[in-house]
Amino acid sequence: MRITLTTLQKMAQEGNRIAMLTCYDASFAAVLEEAGVDSLLIGDSLGNVLQGHESTLPVTLRDMVYHTECVARGSKRAFVVADMPFGSFQVSPQETLRNAAQLMSVGAQMVKIEGGRPMVETIEFLTDRGIPVCGHLGLTPQSVHQLGGYRVQGKGESEGQRLLKEAKQLEQAGAGMIVLEAIPAALAQCDG
């Protein structure tokens, strides 16, 4: 039986650890599932890892659809999350819905969107239409040029508070999960 978002939320509420790893193909999906991984993320990091790019920016929606389909076929139990690649969710909520629907139709159970406050309307639009969303704050690789490289985010008091505020906004918009990548350990422990 496949793990659902409700299952993961219950695990979190009960204080159980949730194992989520990045996966790009059917073989690794089966191996990771056998090892007990609860959730598989088809990351746009496939641009770096599989395609040899310096960033995630060249990854297309077609790439993500293909790899999501492969992982979903190789997985029988894990919760499947697919990254929305650069340019597939920034134009409008309506276009994001069309693109997210492609990922969902091949096996994603949730899509992941990078960005804070500017993505609130889009997340609300998607979740109102039945598409579960994982928000992504902190180090957002699709913004690598704007961030000045791959660096820890939220170091200062004001930056940390901004990230916490944006996390709450994403949660209120309907994000079922939120990833906080490359943030200070103290900020990760904060209750908000």
Q: What is the pLDDT of residue 139?
A: 64
Catalytic hit among 95, 159, 171, 181: 181
Least Cα distance to 147 among 185, 183, 187 occurs for 183
Is residue 17 pLDDT above 60, yes or no? yes
Number of Cβ within 10 Å of residue 117's Cβ equals 13
**What are the backbone dihedrals phi and psi of residue 21, each rounded to the nearest 5 degrees, phi first?**
-130, 155
| Whole-number average pLDDT of the chain | 89
Query: Is the predicted pLDDT of residue 5 greater than 90, yes or no?
Result: yes
Residue 16: C-alpha distances to residues 34, 35, 37, 59, 80 (Å): 19, 17, 13, 33, 19
pLDDT of residue 51: 93
Residue-wise pLDDT tens digits, 146-175: 666 666 666 878 888 888 898 899 999 999
The helix/strand/coil state of 46 is: helix
**Predicted TM-score of the model (pTM):** 0.90
What does the pLDDT look like over 38-69, one tens digit per residue? 999 999 999 999 999 988 999 999 999 999 99
Residues facing 80 on adjacent strands:
40
Determine what percent of the chain falls in helix, strand and coil, rounding each to the nearest 5. 45, 15, 40
pLDDT at res. 163:
85
Handedness of CA 134, 160, 47, 120 (dihedral sign): positive
Over the stretch 70-103, which tens digit does the pLDDT of each residue have? 999 999 999 999 999 999 999 999 999 999 999 9
Residue 171: active-site member? no
